[in-house]
Chain A
Amino acid sequence: DQQVKQNSPSLSVQEGRISILNCDYTNSMFDYFLWYKKYPAEGPTFLISISSIKDKNEDGRFTVFLNKSAKHLSLHIVPSQPGDSAVYFCAASSNDYKLSFGAGTTVTVRA
């Protein structure tokens, strides 16, 4: 069963604009959420995370928002840069060892 869902398989955005990636989850026991970025032929790279006790976490150009009541989180990238073109995975954990991942969203930043 897919407990973490990324319903948009792709996103195209112009350089300098905002990228917004969405993620929904079904397991109310999830208490920690992460975003990873993946380039082709490489492993996922950790980007940013958020605990369920918070509703926002910011790191440079990246901000993650968590809406627990809606079981929804989003990643904002501002401003988008060409190097941001990659696959982005949302992941969640209900313990401190197993991550459940979404299927990913491919972001393309246009010059």
Chain B
Amino acid sequence: DTGVSQDPRHKITKRGQNVTFRCDPISEHNRLYWYRQTLGQGPEFLTYFQNEAQLEKSRLLSDRFSAERPKGSFSTLEIQRTEQGDSAMYLCASSSGGVVTQYFGPGTRLLVL
């Protein structure tokens, strides 16, 4: 079991650019979650997938954000036209359906200049 992996670990971009992050969950987990964490705060829920279906999106997820999990395995989170306020740690987690405990990846730290 290799755990949840995320790529890249760090991303620096200029305002207005698009960025895409990837998450590979634990292989037998059918649920995948995205969270965002800013300095001094705990992770905030963004969205989650059960298999390939995106079942809930937080109001934090503006129209510039889109997430996909095309084959129910890995997931991507894209941010279009990045803004400085998007600078944060983006965390991915996975779990088995019906199990509350989520296992987190190392995160992708985004800095928008």
A contacts, CB < 8 Å to B: 4, 32, 34, 36, 41-46, 49, 89, 91, 93, 96-104
How distant is B39 from chain A, measured CB to nearest CB, in Å?
Answer: 10
A97 and B42 form a contact (CB under 8 A): no
Known: A43-B4, A103-B40. A98 touches B103 (CB 8 A): no
A-B contact pairs, 5 of them (CB 8 A): A46-B102, A96-B97, A97-B48, A99-B102, A101-B43
**Which residues in chain B, 5-49, are within 8 Å of chain A measured between CB atoms?**
6, 31, 33, 35, 40-45, 48
B104 and A34 form a contact (CB under 8 A): no
A43 and B42 form a contact (CB under 8 A): no
A-B contact number at CB 8 A: 63
Among residues of B, the one whose C-beta sits closest to the C-beta of A104 is: B42
The 5 closest A-B CB pairs, nearest first, are: A101-B42, A43-B104, A32-B100, A44-B104, A43-B106
Known: A96-B99, A97-B55, A98-B48. A89 touches B106 (CB 8 A): no
Known: A43-B106, A97-B48, A98-B56. A103 touches B42 (CB 8 A): yes
User: Cβ of B107: which chain A residues have Cβ within 8 Å of it?
Assistant: 42-43
Q: How far is the CA of A43 from the CA of B35 in the complex (A)?
A: 11
The CB with the most chain B CB atoms within 10 A, among A34, A41, A44, A100, is that of: A44
B45 and A99 form a contact (CB under 8 A): yes
